[in-house]
Chains A and B, each alone.
Chain A
């Protein structure tokens, strides 16, 4: 087996961290979030992060540990209810939270990764979500214009990767991972298993390796 060229260590990832950076993350209540990368972010001391993903997990899981330890200045998410610390910091004015409907969040990130200027959706029309947004009426239907989201880095959790970075996710741990993989300047995946090129059937690749910059083999639990 040749040495996978995209493989790096957790400590090598640190050179890509900087204060104030924005991070897109995969995961739904922590399922599909790269826990080892979250721990590395915490250990590195990087701060003033903007986190973008579905939810802020629990106070002690996934990206929740970054919120609990006050490393985050802004969260863009659809749900923060399972991590009481996010709500507490929001109410205390320590943390800026932008709540986005889940489907709209997925599409905004998809736009960011797909070279699109935005998407039109009926979701949020007539609610607080429409505040400050452009509305269009086409064929008698009202839509909100939802703009793209990109970030400095995307952190992914995949089950298998080959050395080219082709990824296969596991069950419902896929969720936002393939979406955020497209929308960041630097994309890193934490994987359970790393195999030589050719070991993953190209028909089964869920995220093509060309969008993945780095791979980290997950720490043994």
Chain B
């Protein structure tokens, strides 16, 4: 199964009906495709509205997502300015934020906004999202392209926020921070705890309830 689809599917299973959710660019935008039946969420777009949906029909002037692409809005959405948008984000009115990660560490710190000397695009809204959302889910592939660990003892890249991550979901595992301890709670189908240790630098506990992820064979679409 495609790693990104599996991660998006698994993140979607974290959602509760009625959650207000902000999705980062890239992989997190796949999450709504895999929501379980009966679960409806409201997407917040940092550029100033609630009720983000995929573009249906003709693009409307002024209506773009946080990547600047034309999008839609569900009935009952609302527009607001950037100060209100980030008051919603910092003020605990967003239930879940899902972001990609370059590195996450066992202290719950995330690095995902710059690689000194190589990539300095700016943090955009990521620091506010990670500081303010009730649940911060890092959705990322378990290792770097060359197989190096991304879940570390301590992030080496500049942080997005310190100690704010609540869950990490990869194609190999689900981790949660339980009482501040990085804890393995699920393994992907066919993946052992040993496999995960081999590809994880961070120290982690294994939950007594750790189980195999109940992934569908072919998540749709």
Contact = CB atoms under 8 A, between A and B. Distances in A.
A79 B124 contact: yes
A135 B176 CA distance: 30
Contacts of B185: none
A90 B120 CA distance: 10
Contacts of B66: 28
Nearest to A122: B131
Interface string B116-129: 00011111111110
A104 interface: yes
B86 A107 contact: yes
Nearest to B162: A126
Interface string B127-144: 110011000000000000
Contacts of B170: none
A67 to B, nearest CB: 14
B14 interface: no
B189 interface: no
Nearest to A81: B121
A165 interface: no
B210 interface: no
Interface string A164-185: 0000011111111111000000
A104 B128 contact: yes
Given A80-B122, A87-B120, A102-B82, A31 B47 contact: yes
Contacts of B159: 126-128
A79 B123 contact: yes
B127 A106 contact: no
Given A106-B86, A174-B79, A175-B47, A80 B121 contact: yes
B147 interface: no
A79 B63 CA distance: 19
Interface of A: 28-32, 54-55, 77-82, 87, 90-91, 99, 101-104, 106-107, 109-110, 121-129, 159, 169-179, 206
Interface of B: 45-49, 60-64, 66-68, 79-83, 85-87, 89-90, 109, 119-128, 131-132, 158-163
Given A54-B82, A103-B89, 9 more contacts: A31-B62, A78-B123, A81-B122, A106-B85, A107-B83, A125-B161, A126-B109, A126-B163, A172-B63
10 A-B pairs with the lowest CB-CB distances in the bound complex, closest first: A81-B121, A103-B86, A126-B162, A103-B128, A171-B62, A29-B68, A173-B62, A79-B122, A101-B127, A170-B62
